[in-house]
Each structure stands twice: as C-alpha cells, then as structure tokens.
Amino acid sequence: MSKLEISVSPADDLIDVPRRIVVRGAAAGERVEVASSTLRAGGRWHSSASFVADAQGEVDLTLAEAVDGDYSGVSAMGLLWSQTPQQPGRREVFHADVQEPLVTTLTAKAGEHSADAELVQRLCVSGVTRRPLREQGLVGTLFLPAGDGPHPAVMILNGSGGGINEARAALYASRGYAALALAYFKAPGLSDYISNTPLEYFQSGLDWIRRNLKPRSDFVAISGQSRGGELVLLLGATFPEQVSAVLAYVPSALVHSGQNAADPAIGREGPTWLLNGQPLPHQWQNNRTASWQPFDEGPPPHRHALAMLTALQDEAAVARARIPVEKIQAPVLLFSAGDDGSWPSSLYSKMVSDKLKEAGHPYPVEWQDYQDAGHSILFPYVPTTQLSYAHPVSGRISTGGGQPLANAEADRHSWQQALAFLQHAVAAHISKKETP
C-alpha cells in the first residue's frame, strides 16, 4: 500500500467552489508531481505540476508553489484552469448534459509511490430542474432552483457563437435564480445566423418569464457576453421598464453589424438588430474609416479587435451607432478585458460607464476591468488555456486574447462580483417594491 495520500476538500460540490488539495506522506523536500485528468464533452483534458514537499512531507496546493509543469507559482485550482485537451483544437469544457458532473482524477506521485483522488464539479445542485422551452417562437432552456419560489429571475443570452447557454443558466439556478437561457440563432427552429434579429423576440422572452414564472418582486435581470453583452445593454435601453438589472460581459457600447456571425447572403457589414421591422444603425454603416484589413490580413490567429479600432476613428459613425445606455432604468455591471482580442471591451465599457456617470444614472454602476485577460470570461475553475479558436459560424481562426492565469483570475473574480451584484440588486428592488 502506498504511503502517499491525496485529499480533496470538498470532494464534491458546485463548480464555483474552490477546493483544498493536499498530498501527505512524502519525504521532507521530496519532489511531488500531481496530475489531473478530466473527461469533458467526450474529450480528455490533462494537466500536471511539480512541487517540493514541506518539512512535514506535505504539499498543500493552496500554499505550495508549482516549480515545474503546466502552471507556475501558487494557485489552489491551477491544475484545473491549466488543463489542455488531449485532442488539439477542442474547446468545449462542459458535457452536453450540464446536469452530468465533471469528474477529475488527481494522481500524486513521489518516488515509487502514488495515490489517487476524485474532484467532482457540478453545475446543478440537487433539486434544480431543467425544462426545454419551445413556446410562442421562443427557443431556450429553463432551469429552476430547488425549493418553492418565487425566485428572482435571470435571462441569459449567448454571443456570436449562438446556441443555448445552459451551463451558465444551470449555475445561476444552483445559486437561487430562475434562469432562462434564451437562444436567438444557431439553435433548433431558429436562423443559423445573427443577421436581422428582432429585439421584440427578447421582449417576448421577458414577458414569458413574468407571465409563467412570476418572479420574486417582479425581478428579471439580463446577462449576456460578447454580442450578448452588447445585446443586454441594448435591451435595457430599449425596454427599460422590463429589465431589473443588466450584467454585460465584455460588451460593446455600440450596435455592431453581423460580423463573423452574419448570414453570408447579407454579409458581415449587414444589420444585426431590428426594431419595429427596421434595422438599427450600426458601427460599420457609412463609416469612413472602418476597415477589415487588420483582421483579414496576416497569419492566424486573427485579432478581430484590430478592425473594430479602425471603425472608432469615425466619430460621427460612432455617435450614430452608440447604444443609449442612459435610458436604462436599472443597476449595471460591466466586465471587460484589457487584452481582448475580439473587440476593445475595456474601451467600450469605459464609454458606457462614462455616459452613465455623465447622465447621473440613479442606479449602481459597477465596472470590473481585467487588464491582462482576454475575451472569454466565464466562471471559476474551468480550463483557460485555449486562446485561439475557429469561430463557430465563420470558421475563421481567431484569438480571444489574454493569458491562462489572467483569464482564470477573471473567471473567478467576475463570478463572485456577479453574485454579489445580483444579491444587492434584488434586495434594492424588493425594498423599492415594498416601500409604500
């Protein structure tokens, strides 16, 4: 029997819960290697790091510095965020069934001895229910918390990859929110492209939530990332009385054209959003300086943000495309990335924050800018190593930017901030509703 032991505490919990991983039984000063292996959406992901056991023959990953391997320094969950796929190019880190837990095998080795342990991450706590939504033209998935309601609600919107963001909705439900992940393209029964998407579709989604879920104190927040971040700001400004809080991840301050998710028949400079059947003016429209050249030329991975910066030089076009965020009647939370390869989310978020401040926005406005992070800000303790990708619609090889450690820190901190922001927004909303 091996003298080594490896423990995980807690061994089985939600994905956003940090774990303490400790190896015991090594010799003082002995080199200890700890490896991880996780099956994610049918593909195996791996990582490993080496440590030096302390005077008691222990390696506590919350304290011990990795001296070699897939990450360096001290990071309690480094073995998870530093994982890379065995099959190059894979990016999906969650199972298709988000109710299926992610099981990571941890293996510690010191000399001739070894020990194993399991670390289980869940997106759903016991009692969370999942229900597909296919009503009134709406396509999505509803996750409801365990226990009797009513619960505050969140509508989750994806970015230019389209589809249904079940993972985020499941985690919101596990934290007490009725969560509707609403698709608007690239999902069954919907267009394959983002072009000419009517904003009234999302208004119908908000109406459906209120009518069918009767949220606590009528609280309905909207959360979106990337094009979804642009969208939630736009929805908050367009339907202010129906939005109780806005969480915008790596958003735009401007309405954009279809870009990489556009219908090829319409083109990437065609409109994205319609209101009352009419296209909204967008950044690329009649823009004298906009050029795709910095994005299109040069070797992959391409940085989409370089093209977006050319369009910002035409002040008149920017003014026409600006989202009127001052019309939002709710708290706003912005997350941006200083090394965003997809578009300049830090600059865009500053534009939003500055405009709300200038307008004397009467609700809380929070802005978290992660200087060295990239476009993909998710939630804690998932792999952050795959910086380049083939866009799910255009297929173009691009980079979201950032570095794995900075991206991992943005993942962790942003989710903590999102939960705190929502908690405060719900409390303020309830207080306002109950005040005579």
| Domain segments of the chain as ranges | 5-122, 129-434
Instruction: Return the bridge partners of 129, or none.
Output: 144
Q: Point out the catalytic residue in the list 48, 226, 257, 376.
A: 226
| pTM of the predicted model over 0.85 | yes
Q: What is the C-alpha to C-alpha distance for residues 225 and 160, in angstroms, rounded to an integer?
A: 9
DSSP per residue, 341-394: SSS-HHHHHHHHHHHHHHTT-SS-EEEEEETT--S----SSS-----EEE-TTT
Distances 136 to 37, 133, 189, 219 between C-alpha atoms, Å:
43, 9, 12, 22
Pick from 21, 25, 20: nearest CA to 56 = 25
Beta strand 332-337 pairing with 365-370: parallel
The two tokens of residue 256 are 């954009």
Radius of gyration for the chain, computed over Cα atoms and rounded to the nearest angstrom: 23
pLDDT at 1: 36
Taking the chain, what is the end-to-end CA distance rounded to the nearest angstrom?
Answer: 69
Non-local CB neighbours of 115 within 8 Å, separated by 6+ positions: 2, 4, 5, 6, 23, 25, 107, 108
Q: What are the helix (H) ranges across 297-344? A: 304-311, 315-321
Burial of 358 (0-12, 13-18, 19+ CB in 10 A): exposed
- In this structure, the number of other CB atoms found within 10 A of the CB of residue 201 comes to 17
Distances 61 to 17, 20, 384 between C-alpha atoms, Å:
15, 7, 19
Non-local CB neighbours of 77 within 8 Å, separated by 6+ positions: 18, 19, 61, 380, 381, 408
CB-side neighbour CA atoms (13 Å) of 422: 24
Q: What is the C-alpha to C-alpha distance for residues 332 and 321, in angstroms, rounded to an integer?
A: 20
**Can 375 be counted among the known catalytic residues?**
yes
Q: What is the C-alpha to C-alpha distance for residues 340 and 338, in angstroms, rounded to an integer?
A: 6
The two tokens of residue 340 are 């965003």
- Per the CATH hierarchy, to which homologous superfamily does domain 129-434 belong? Alpha/Beta hydrolase fold, catalytic domain (3.40.50.1820)
- 5-122 fold: Immunoglobulin-like (2.60.40)
Q: What is the pLDDT along the chain (436 residues), one digit of tens a residue?
A: 348 999 999 999 999 999 999 999 999 999 999 999 999 999 999 999 999 999 999 999 999 999 999 999 999 999 999 999 999 888 899 999 999 999 999 999 999 999 999 999 999 999 999 999 999 999 999 999 998 889 999 999 999 999 999 999 999 999 999 999 999 999 999 999 999 999 999 999 999 999 999 999 999 999 999 999 999 999 999 999 999 999 999 999 999 999 999 999 999 999 999 999 999 999 999 999 999 999 998 788 989 999 999 999 999 999 999 999 999 999 999 999 999 999 999 999 999 999 999 999 999 999 999 999 999 999 999 999 999 888 888 888 899 999 999 999 999 999 999 999 999 999 999 988 776 5
Written as one letter, the residue type at 126 is: S
Q: Point out the catalytic residue in the list 16, 339, 340, 411.
A: 340
Return the SS3 of 201.
Answer: helix
pLDDT at 231: 98
Non-local CB neighbours of 395 within 8 Å, separated by 6+ positions: none
Q: Point out the catalytic residue in the list 349, 375, 376, 414.
A: 375
Question: Between the CA atoms of 236, 237, 241 and 242, what dihedral angle is there, to the nearest 10 degrees?
Answer: -30
